[in-house]
Chain A
């Protein structure tokens, strides 16, 4: 339950409740969690911590999630980290845009439970 599996996940999410819920669930699954609360800090936190996977919200204060995604995927050191876009925008344009910027997956928060999310993360990290 509480074992550490050595994988680090970066959560970029501005809503405090959702962020803490997600972090809690991930930690229960044995992941290490780092958080960023807005777009600016997302890239720097990613660089500092070099996570194995990034959960990225799109609706962020300051620079929006698409810009962060673009920055992550054009940065030499960061571009290979899988990014799961995690948002409540679900329009086709948004999904297409995210995919074209290099997102590995796109989940609508309200349509999934955290367990589903865990399942996807486990699959992505080959656990």
Chain B
């Protein structure tokens, strides 16, 4: 873990910095002590001080600390560049060992009193506590106490002017030696206990800081994720805004196109009506003989022309209806009227047309005298006219057309009326039974019978019937031909 290693290196760095002060302080005290032992202070005194073993040791230690400092920086550099193979423990160990040896040498060279030894050796122990886990302080504690004992013995040998070996062999010195060793052991025990205790506390602290560091990274990661997420959302928002704009533009264009188309259809159809009216009137005037007698041949041809014009008018009207349906401008006004009367009127309208094709048209009246329902009068009229017109158009010569009303659904929860228009005509193939209601669709056999036709009539019929909440369908008539059924609800919901 990079941050852990970095933290450890920072501790090492701090220690190296502290060591400057520590060495300067200790050596300063020692050198001043030595200087004070001289009565006179002149150049030679200074020179001898400067070249004394203590001063030399001081310089060497300063150099070592410099090297340590450089080494520590080098390790830090390696860690910053994510080089995980760094062994920071080595640096720490070198520091502690250096201090142990430094302190031992200072004691020997400067002749420090043995009572201070334990205090001085606390320094490496504390160092090892902050640098290492349990093993380090224990090792240093043992080493320190050993050193204390050894140095005490050397010091005592010095005060008694014996060599170490002589001291160890002398019996009376053994007693004080015993004391010394006992106090050394006690010192070791104190070192060890305090070492354990401090190490334990340091471990706790380190664990805590590790935990915090881990949590810190987790939080940092979460924040990164959240930032990324927010960015993604922003990105999607922008995309959506762009798409919304695109949609709005497209919708506007479509609306404009639709309006333009609608305008085009209505303007052209209206424009077409004027000349159509002119042709129709002119022809009808001639046909009626008001402009003079006409021969039968002339009459026949003029009649053809008149019928064609009528058809054109019908097509124009249908186109207008379609346009109104498509642009939603087909207004429905519901009024209450007698459907029986309406059908009777329409049937009358078609009597002449049917006769001319040798077809019988019959309205089969229901038992009730009157059957009122709520509907748009004009539009239902158009629908019924269309169905009857088809029944005649696609009928066989001499065939029959029946129009009937079924009122057995009137007195139910959902009152409706069923109208049936039946013919003996060319029929509708099974696959065409739904298609005939599609815009511009004309069945094959229909085209053969009647080449002209827009294929719009049933489309309009279905739209009208469905807008009334009813339904329209066709089935084969048993005995040949087709039956068209329409259901219409009696009542319309108030919008």
Could you list which residues of chain A lie within 8 angstroms of chain B, going by C-beta atoms?
15, 17-18, 21-22, 24-25, 28, 59, 88-92, 108-111, 113-115
B447 at the A interface (CB under 8 A): no
Please measure, in the bound complex, the distance between the C-alpha atom of A92 and the C-alpha atom of B290, giving whole angstroms: 35
Please measure, in the bound complex, the distance between the C-alpha atom of A110 and the C-alpha atom of B277, giving whole angstroms: 4
Given A21-B282, A114-B284, are A108 and B331 neighbors across the interface (CB < 8 Å)?
no
Q: Which of B266, B284, B316 contacts A113 (CB 8 A)?
A: B284
Given A28-B290, A92-B331, are A111 and B317 neighbors across the interface (CB < 8 Å)?
yes
Please state if A25 and B285 are interface contacts (CB–CB under 8 Å): yes
Q: How far is the CB of B332 from chain A (nearest CB, A)?
A: 10
Interface residue stretch chosen among B125-133, B234-242, B268-276, B480-488? B268-276
Given A109-B277, A113-B284, A114-B281, are A89 and B290 neighbors across the interface (CB < 8 Å)?
no
B contacts with A: majority SS:
helix
- 7 contacting pairs across A/B (C-beta < 8 A): A15-B274, A17-B282, A21-B285, A25-B285, A88-B274, A111-B313, A113-B280
Interface readout for B298-324 with A: 1 if CB under 8 Å, 0 if not?
000000000000000100110010001
The chain A residue with its CB closest to the CB of B306 is A113
Please state if A110 and B284 are interface contacts (CB–CB under 8 Å): no
A contacts with B: majority SS:
helix
Please state if B281 and A113 are interface contacts (CB–CB under 8 Å): yes
Given A28-B290, A115-B288, are A110 and B282 neighbors across the interface (CB < 8 Å)?
no
Please measure, in the bound complex, the distance between the C-alpha atom of A15 and the C-alpha atom of B278, giving whole angstroms: 9
Most buried by A among B277, B284, B313, B329: B277
Most buried by B among A24, A90, A108, A113: A113
Residues of A within 8 Å of B266, CB to CB, are 91
Most buried by A among B274, B316, B320: B274
Total residue contacts A-B, CB cutoff 8 A: 54
Could you list which residues of chain B lie within 8 angstroms of chain A, going by C-beta atoms?
266, 270-271, 273-274, 276-278, 280-282, 284-285, 288, 290, 313, 316-317, 320, 324, 329, 331
Please state if B285 and A109 are interface contacts (CB–CB under 8 Å): no
Most buried by A among B281, B316, B324: B281
Most buried by B among A24, A89, A109: A109
Residues of A within 8 Å of B282, CB to CB, are 17, 21
Residues of A within 8 Å of B273, CB to CB, are 88, 90, 108-110
Please measure, in the bound complex, the distance between the C-alpha atom of A15 and the C-alpha atom of B270, giving whole angstroms: 14
The chain B residue with its CB closest to the CB of A113 is B284
Please state if A18 and B277 are interface contacts (CB–CB under 8 Å): yes
Please measure, in the bound complex, the distance between the C-alpha atom of A108 and the C-alpha atom of B280, giving whole angstroms: 13
Please measure, in the bound complex, the distance between the C-alpha atom of A32 and the C-alpha atom of B329, giving whole angstroms: 41
A sample of 20 more A-B contacts (CB under 8 A), given A15-B278, A21-B282, A113-B280, is: A15-B274, A17-B278, A18-B274, A18-B281, A21-B281, A24-B285, A25-B290, A28-B290, A59-B270, A88-B271, A88-B273, A88-B274, A91-B266, A91-B324, A91-B329, A109-B277, A110-B277, A110-B313, A113-B284, A114-B285
Q: How far is the CB of A2 from chain B (nearest CB, A)?
A: 11
